[in-house]
Structure 1
Amino acid sequence: MTAVEPRFDQVVHAPPRLQVCGLLAAVDTMEFAAVRDAVGVSDSVLSKHVKQLEDAGYVRVRKATIASRVRTSLSLTAEGRTAFGAHVAELKRITGG
């Protein structure tokens, strides 16, 4: 992994969005329900935060029908991975970590 320039990102910084990015950074894709449970918020709260990340180009939302049920999966885009990495680097810089 190449080093990223530390940069504070207001979109990523909100705690639920930071958690979502952290979860998605560790995987290629994750189901919406698994993210919701890990973050510990309701569907509507997670949807709001995911929409902000999606609007920023950081998260990709995919819907697929599996066994006649619509499943929503989330993944970080390349831009989202870069933004998250830069934000974490800036937090480490700020805290002397």
Structure 2
Amino acid sequence: MPEESLDTVIHAPARLRIVATLATLGPGDEIAFPRLRALLDMTAGNLSTHLRKLEDAGYVAVTKTHEGRTPVTYLKLTDSGRAAFRAYQAALADLLKGAGT
């Protein structure tokens, strides 16, 4: 299977880490932006840039709200994001199987 079959939105290392981390949450579960940033050890700007690309692709849902007077941003993988990640994993597994031949 050619490398072109890998989803380029997910394939970037930072976005792959984001999607893989969000995929560990249950469907519909969310994580706060600061928690995800800490887990991935990324700067807020870098994380925001990659989240925007994932959001534009429909893979990540971003919910901005307030807790009291404090703004809070929650993130979750959408159903299409989960499907894209499963397809990415399958394509990568196929690619790796072919690498030994």
Please indicate the TM-score interval, normalised by the length of the shorter structure.
Answer: 0.7 to 0.9
Question: What whole-Å deviation, never above 9, does each CA across 1:50-78 have from its counterpart, x for those lacking one?
Answer: 00000001100001101311110101111
Work out whether 1:67 is the aligned partner of 2:45. Answer: no
Q: Give unpaired runs (5+ residues) of structure 1.
A: 1-6
Q: 1:24 maps to what in 2?
A: 22
Provide the TM-score with structure 1 as the length reference.
0.87
Instruction: Report matched runs for 1:46-65 at 5 Å.
Output: 46-65=47-66
Provide the TM-score with structure 2 as the length reference.
0.84
Q: 1:12 maps to what in 2?
A: 10
Once residues 13 and 34 of structure 1 are traced to their aligned partners in structure 2, the CA distance between those partners, rounded to angstroms, is 22
Give the share of equivalent positions with the same residue, in percent: 39
Q: Which amino acid aligns with 2:78?
A: T
Classify the secondary structure of the residue corresponding to 2:22: helix
Larger CA Rg, structure 1 vs 2: 2
Q: 2:88 maps to what in 1?
A: 87
Q: 4+ residue stretches of structure 1 with deviation over 6 A?
A: none
Classify the secondary structure of the residue corresponding to 1:22: helix
Q: Give unpaired runs (5+ residues) of structure 2.
A: none
Kindly indicate whether structure 1 or structure 2 has the higher relative contact order, using CA contacts under 8 Å at least 6 residues apart. Answer: 1
- Name the count of aligned residue pairs: 91
